[in-house]
A = this chain, B = another copy of it.
Amino acid sequence: MSAIGERSPVQEPHQSLAERLFLTLRGEIVEGRIAAGSKISEPGLARRFNASRGSLREALMHLESLGLLERRVNVGARVVDLGERGLLELYEVREALEGMACRLAAQQRTEEDLAELRQMLSRHEQQEELQAGKAYFQPEGDFDFHFRIVQASKNALLIDTLCNRLYYRVRMYRYQLGMASPRARRAFREHSHIIEAIEAGDGELAELLMRRHIRASRQNIENKLR
């Protein structure tokens, strides 16, 4: 249950080939180097990585369990292509889960978590003033925020579901749609208020604010798609 945002930047030495294939392919799919909706050729990819089809299939199954691939028996695997509907569904689930994460983070907060959250926020503030609010919604800023909040919930299942199962799809969509949100300054204020509520230990308010925050983000995307 290894979350994506762990501290150690070193790679585990005991890593299976299938796992390395999985990580590589996940990156290529998320960043769009392998197009959404395109068919996956097992023999082709196996040749490309000088790996056996068995190891590659293991990686593909892992990708399927993340919801990045769709496999059908005797037919093969395709990169998922959910469309507008799937994106909105994703945000509805995020609203529920990250709302709960905020509530739990407020209840279970430690001084250590709070210090990290405050530090992150001030780092974002500098970055935001530098870049005049257009880059805030890129992975460094926004994902960092949501990751940290979710980690602070201390609920392993919640962390796994959001960070491993859902966020890669979100990132895939952002690459696909070329997100550069105009909500940067407002989003930063919302983040700030959420952290204040967590500091105050007000789980109910923290949940409410996070849900509103994600709903606003969803509506922003909804408008953009018309």
> Interface of A with B (CB < 8 Å)?
14-16, 19, 54, 57-58, 61-62, 64-65, 67, 73-74, 86, 89-90, 92-93, 95-97, 99-100, 104, 155-158, 160-161, 165
CB-defined contacts of A157 to chain B, threshold 8 Å:
67, 86, 89-90, 92-93
Q: A interface, by DSSP: helix, strand, loop or mixed? A: helix
CA distance in complex: A93, B103 (Å): 12
CA distance in complex: A65, B61 (Å): 9
The answer to whether A95 and B89 touch across the interface, beta carbons within 8 angstroms, is no
Q: How many copies does the complex hold?
A: 2
Interface centre among A97, A99, A104, A157 (most CB of B within 10 A): A157
Contact of A155 among B14, B89, B165 (CB under 8 A): B89
Contact of A54 among B16, B54, B160 (CB under 8 A): B54
CA distance in complex: A19, B74 (Å): 12
Q: How far is the CB of A217 from chain B (nearest CB, A)?
A: 16
Report 25 cross-chain contacts, Cβ distance below 8 Å, ordered by A residue.
Answer: A14-B73, A14-B74, A15-B73, A16-B74, A54-B54, A57-B58, A58-B61, A61-B61, A61-B62, A67-B160, A86-B156, A86-B157, A89-B157, A90-B157, A93-B97, A93-B100, A93-B155, A93-B157, A93-B161, A96-B96, A96-B97, A96-B99, A96-B100, A97-B97, A161-B161
Sample of 4 more A-B contacts, CB < 8 Å, known A64-B65, A96-B99: A57-B58, A58-B61, A86-B157, A97-B97
